[in-house]
């Protein structure tokens, strides 16, 4: 046994993660892949790396020092189960199996329970940052037992990205907590990307600026409170010119956004938890809408507003859009952290939202200055019920709300879809409202389904006898 860590699955993510591990002082990495060719290629391409090439699960297990620790990086779903089944046969109690793939967290909960019965530890770890991050330092969100964290923690800390001097990894919580948090990370990423896309669209159609000119706007924004990886790469994408046509690349890319499903998982989970993640939902739906060309063709003749959309003062409009973007972003993150809070309560995880915001500061797609403010907010008040209500964010919303409204009004009048901007503003107005028309909804529910209601002026549960004499009676609480 010569290796202290192993990697199973050597496609882009696995091979880069194995190279990252092998580059760290003291590590020797056992590598295994279903088809032999990938292992051979990796060994041939990096003769200098501290790899131990293995070609069977038996050889893989024999090459690992105890407790054996292996990270699986294969296609999520069936392939992950197949690899776990093989590892369980050759590993022993106390060993650790880590799934670094993009598993759906209920699968991780199921796998952790099943593997634990063999005495082997199972850790579902969300890994963010794509190929580049896997190689140079990802943000890592491990779940699993406290026992496995003792062995795994130092290894993961050695390969994670570093932000403000801290490695971007923390023991998120037990069993599926890591994959849950990774899922919400991806959902927030969807919202952030959609908000930026709406900002670009409004500026382009309102001011007539070219993509290259708008790239400069984003580059400028990246110096302020919006500073983030996504704003930075937006400027890069907008600057890019297509070699073939000489047009801006953004004008020749087909306008149908793809998705691998993590946004949908975030929204589905939020629906079952009863958490309004409207920014993430609208971002996910916007991708779906874009990807139905037949429906878009069928709707092409729908009329829009009569007047051309132009803004009188381009600079003022751009500043309004910047403020709308920042305010909507605050709402999207606040909603995402709300989902983590609700998930932790539902699945009995102890998740430190402040620690989560700190490990997202480096390595992952949503890395941003802004996450320091989130970390500050949770440091100040760990049980903060609504992230957006922390003073820094509440102040920013108060400062930005007038601009945000002007932008949503302009978009509506111009017929420019801005679902994430406008739904975030609707959430803001909903959450701050002193009274909501939910009272009428309760009345309707009581009318047709005797679902009962509570009153503002006394304790108890009530029902109006709608089909009788319409007097009110005290009733059993049926929700």
Q: Residues interacting with ligand NBP, by CB under 6 A?
A: 9-14, 33-35, 38, 73-76, 79, 82-83, 101-102, 127, 130-131
Active site residue 189: yes
Under a CB-based contact definition with an 8 Å cutoff, are residues 248 and 241 in contact? yes
Q: Which is nearer to ligand NBP, 77 or 293 (CB)?
A: 77
Q: With H, G, I as helix, E, B as strand and everything else as coil, classify residue 139.
A: strand
Residue 73 or 161: which CB sits closer to ligand NBP?
73
In the set 182, 198, 282, 339, the catalytic residue is 182
Residue 130 known to bind ligand: yes
CB of 213 to ligand NBP, least distance (A): 31
Lookup result for tokens 């006898």: 465
- Kindly tell me which of 53 and 211 has the beta carbon lying closer to ligand NBP: 53
Nearer to ligand NBP, 57 or 421 (CB): 57
Q: Within a 10 A sphere around the Cβ of 235, how many other Cβ atoms?
A: 20
Helix pair 314-347, 419-432: axis angle to 10 deg: 60
d(CA 111, CA 93): 15
Which entry of 189, 198, 282, 339 is annotated as an active-site residue?
A: 189
CB of 97 to ligand NBP, least distance (A): 14
* Nearer of residues 127 and 411 to ligand NBP, judged by Cβ: 127
CB of 78 to ligand NBP, least distance (A): 6
* Residue 171 marked as a ligand binder: no
CB of 31 to ligand NBP, least distance (A): 11
Any known ligand binding at 165?
no
Q: Can you say how many angstroms the Cα of residue 273 is from the centroid of all Cα atoms in its chain?
A: 16
For ligand NBP, the closer CB: 85 or 146: 85
User: From the CB of 17, what's the least distance to ligand NBP, in Å?
Assistant: 9
* Distances from the Cα of 470 to the Cα of 193, 454, 464, 466, angstroms: 51, 16, 6, 5
Yes or no: say if 228 and 370 are a contact pair by the CB < 8 Å rule: yes
Report d(CA 56, CA 63) in Å as an integer.
11
9 is in an annotated binding site: yes
Q: Name the residue nearer to ligand NBP (CB basis): 35 or 467.
A: 35
Q: How far apart are CA 5 and CA 18, in angstroms?
A: 9
Contact 170, 143 (CB under 8 A): no
Query: Residue 140: which H helix or E strand, with range?
Result: strand 139-142
Residue 33 is labelled as binding a ligand: yes
Q: Per the annotation, does 454 bind a ligand? A: no
Query: Is residue 445 annotated as involved in ligand binding?
Result: yes
183 is in an annotated binding site: no
Give the DSSP H or E segment for 156: helix 146-159
Using left for φ > 0, alpha for ψ between -120 and 50, and beta otherwise, residue 459 falls in: beta
In the complex, the smallest distance separating the C-beta of residue 132 from ligand NBP, rounded to whole angstroms, is: 9
Q: Measured between alpha carbons, how far is 317 from 351 in angstroms, rounded to an integer? A: 40
Asked if residue 413 lies in contact with residue 202, where contact means CB atoms within 8 angstroms, the answer is no
The Cα-based distances of 109 to 66, 124, 175, 238 in angstroms read 25, 8, 5, 41
Backbone angles phi and psi of 122, in degrees to 5: -125, 130
Question: Where do the DSSP E strands lie in 45-88?
Answer: 51-53, 69-72
Min. distance of Cβ 72 from ligand NBP in angstroms?
A: 8
Q: Which residues are catalytic?
A: 182, 189
Give the residue numbers of the binding site for NADP(+): 9-14, 33-35, 74-76, 102
């Amino acid at each position: 046994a010569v290796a202290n860590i192993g990697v199973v699955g050597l496609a882009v993510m696995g091979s880069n993660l194995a190279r990252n591990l092998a580059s760290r002082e003291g590590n020797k990495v056992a590598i295994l892949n279903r088809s032999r060719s990938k292992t051979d290629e990796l060994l041939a391409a990096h003769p200098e790396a501290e790899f131990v090439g293995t070609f069977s699960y038996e050889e893989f297990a024999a090459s690992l020092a105890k407790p054996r620790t292996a990270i699986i990086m294969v296609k999520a779903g069936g392939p992950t189960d197949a690899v776990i089944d093989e590892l369980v046969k050759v590993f022993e109690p106390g060993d650790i199996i880590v799934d670094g793939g993009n598993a759906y967290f209920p699968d991780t909960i199921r796998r952790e329970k099943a593997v634990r019965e063999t005495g082997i530890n199972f850790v579902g770890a969300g890994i963010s940052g794509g190929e580049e991050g896997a190689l140079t330092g990802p943000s890592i969100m491990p779940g699993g037992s406290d026992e496995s964290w003792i062995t795994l923690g130092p290894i993961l800390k050695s390969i994670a990205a570093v932000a403000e001097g801290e490695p971007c990894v923390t023991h998120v919580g037990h069993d599926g907590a890591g994959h849950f948090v990774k899922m919400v990370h991806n959902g927030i990423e969807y919202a952030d990307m959609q908000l930026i896309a709406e900002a670009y669209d409004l500026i382009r159609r309102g001011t007539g600026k070219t993509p290259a000119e708008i790239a400069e706007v984003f580059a400028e924004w990246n110096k302020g409170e919006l500073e983030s990886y996504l704003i930075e790469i937006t400027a890069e994408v907008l600057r890019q010119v297509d070699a073939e046509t000489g047009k801006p690349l953004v004008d020749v890319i087909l306008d149908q956004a793809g998705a691998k499903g993590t946004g949908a998982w975030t929204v589905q989970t939020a629906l079952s938890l009863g958490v309004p993640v409207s920014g993430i939902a609208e971002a996910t739906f916007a991708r779906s809408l874009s990807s139905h060309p037949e429906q878009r063709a069928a709707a092409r003749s729908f009329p829009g507003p009569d007047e051309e959309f132009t803004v009188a003062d381009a600079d003022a409009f751009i500043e309004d859009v910047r403020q709308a973007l920042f305010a909507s972003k605050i709402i999207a993150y606040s909603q995402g952290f709300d989902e983590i809070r609700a998930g932790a309560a539902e699945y009995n995880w102890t998740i430190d939202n402040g620690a989560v915001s700190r490990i997202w500061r480096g390595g992952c797609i949503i890395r941003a200055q802004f996450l320091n403010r989130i970390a500050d907010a949770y440091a100040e008040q760990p049980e903060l019920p609504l992230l957006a209500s922390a003073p820094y964010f509440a102040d920013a919303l108060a400062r930005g709300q007038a601009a945000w409204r002007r932008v949503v009004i302009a978009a509506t009048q111009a017929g420019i879809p801005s679902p994430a901007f406008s739904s975030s503003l609707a959430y803001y107005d909903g959450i701050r409202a002193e009274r909501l028309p939910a009272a009428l909804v309760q009345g309707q529910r009581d009318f047709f389904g005797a679902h009962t209601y509570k009153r503002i002026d006394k304790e108890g549960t009530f029902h109006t006898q709608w089909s009788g004499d319409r007097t009110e009676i005290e009733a059993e609480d049926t929700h």
